Amino acid sequence: MKPESKTVHWGDRRKIGADFIPVTTPIYTAASYVYESMDQLERVFDMQESGPSYARYDNPTRSALEEVMRELEGGAGAIACASGMIAIHTALLAALLDRPKRVLAANMMYGATTAMLMNIFEPMGVETTQVDPCDLAAFEAALAETKPGAVIMETVANPLLRVAPLDKIAALCRSANAPLIVDNTFATPLLVRPLDLGASIVCHSATKYLAGHGDVLGGVIVANEEHFNTIRGLSRTLGPVMGPFESYLTMRGIKTLALRVERQCENARKVAEWLGAQAKVERVYFPGDPKHPDRESILRLFPEGRYGGLVAFEIKGAAKADIFRFMERLQMVVRATSLGDVHTMILYPAMASHRDLSPKHRERLGIHENLVRMSIGIEAIEDILADLGQALA
């Protein structure tokens, strides 16, 4: 079955009773479950038999979502979490549990991920070293020098949309016995499947493309066979799990994921091309740009013609106040902190996604004061361009 069909069918139509099978998975709100046989309940608790026992351990609605995500990412198992950040936190805990307390991290990621490493993990004794993953020689040298217990990166770096050679990095990590954690939120499993390329653990903010409609807070972890049992054990103990209603909404969103991503990729390409022709735009960042610095990796990792729905750009000579005025003039594009929704959104990284980093740190990374990041939606492309045009005028 093709991925486009799996998004529609996988995880649903499990037999509930003797007389019927629901077409879509219902919302189960029960905190605990009763079995006629105590022997069967014990087998469920021991995970010798599948089935729910207690909501922190399992929930039928959440299990259906986990099953479709396991299948889409090609992992041994999945855990749906209450947020993308707790998904990353749990993945790091699992990777470091019995390994050296050292992390090799990409130097450009979501600001909250970097802040978590610096402000939570480092005070707990976990040393973090940052490296540019797009510089393979520098990455290999850092890997050999730090001998990390885990490596973490993004498929597409937030917010400048750099694309590191994930397949080659995964090979280096395997040789160094360092599990590779990849945040695949921007790409989705429809564009890139990091586990197929050698990663150990994949994380998503389900809030974004998976749910897709701006009404869910959630995350997902998908892991290979070596790491999944550890992640499941941590999840059963700590309980960072997604609720049944959010699980239902996320799974419902995934049913249209393929259609949305196809339209968003096409719209993003047209927006990037249009921005590149505007006199007031200094620079455009888009993985589909033929002049992108990571073009070789992008062509190798992404399906032809589909490079994601994110576009970032710099407005020529703009200061913070100028950016604010531009954003306030937008009439259709939504000024809000997120991405991957059906509606086009715009965000000011210095204020939102990377506000936890100091101004000097942002500047070193190339996140300038005049940078904005757009998540392109599924609207008519003419309306998106018209709104941008009148706001830039």
- Residue 16 predicted with pLDDT over 70: no
**Taking the model in full, what pTM does it have?**
0.94
Is 56 annotated in the active site?
yes
Domains identified in the chain and CATH numbers:
3-254 (3.40.640.10), 258-392 (3.90.1150.10)
In the set 183, 289, 294, 387, the catalytic residue is: 183
> For the chain, what percent of residues have pLDDT higher than 70?
98
d(CA 209, CA 201): 19
In the set 6, 70, 102, 110, the catalytic residue is: 110
d(CA 270, CA 309): 10
d(CA 144, CA 104): 11
Is 291 annotated in the active site?
no
Q: What is the mean pLDDT of residues 232-245?
A: 97
Q: Are 310 and 161 in contact (CB under 8 A)?
A: yes
In the set 33, 54, 56, 255, the catalytic residue is: 56
pLDDT tens digits, residue range 21-70? 888 899 999 999 999 899 999 999 888 988 889 999 999 999 999 999 99
Q: Are 254 and 239 in contact (CB under 8 A)?
A: no
- Residue 17 predicted with pLDDT over 70: no
Q: What is the mean pLDDT of residues 62-86?
A: 97
In the set 6, 62, 193, 208, the catalytic residue is: 208
The position carrying tokens 């799996």 is: 6
